[in-house]
Structure 1
Amino acid sequence: MKQGQIPTLKQIAKRLKLSTSTVSRALKDHPSIGLVTTMRVKKLAAELNYEPDNRAIFFKQQKTFTIGVVLPNLSEAFFSTAISAIEDMATAHNYTVILGQSLDDEARELKILESFKKHRVDGIIVSLSKNTNNFDFIETFQKMNIPVVFFDCVPDREDVYRIVSDLETGMIEAINTFVSCGHNRIALINGPESLLASKQREEGFIKGLKSNDINVNRDYIFHTNLSEKGNQEAVEELLSLVDRPSAVICFSDYVTLDAMKLVREKGLVINQDIFFISFANFPIWNHIENKPMASIEQFPGKQAEKAAEILFDLIKEDETNKGNHIIYPSRLIHLDSSKQTSL
Structure 2
Amino acid sequence: MTKKTILVAPLNWGLGHATRCVPIINALLNANFKVVLASDGLAFQFLTNEFPSLTIFELAKLDVQYAKTKYGQGFNMLKQIPKLYRFLAEDQSAIRHIAEQIEVNGIISDNRPGVYLKSIPSVYINHQLNVKSGFTSQLSSRLHQQQMKNFNEIWVPDEENDPSLSGELGHFTLKDDRFKIQYLGWLSRLKPTTNEFYYDYCAVISGPEPQRSLFEKMVEDLFLKLPGKKILISGSLSFVDQKIGFESRNMLNTTELNEIMDKSKKIICRSGYTSLMDLLRLQKPALLVPTPGQFEQEYLAKRMQELGWFLVCKQADFEQKAAAILQNIPFNKLPDFKEKEIDFSIFLK
Q: TM-score, normalised to structure 1's length?
A: 0.29
- Structure with the bigger percentage of helix: 1
Highest CA radius of gyration, 1 or 2? 1
Q: TM-score, normalised to structure 2's length?
A: 0.28
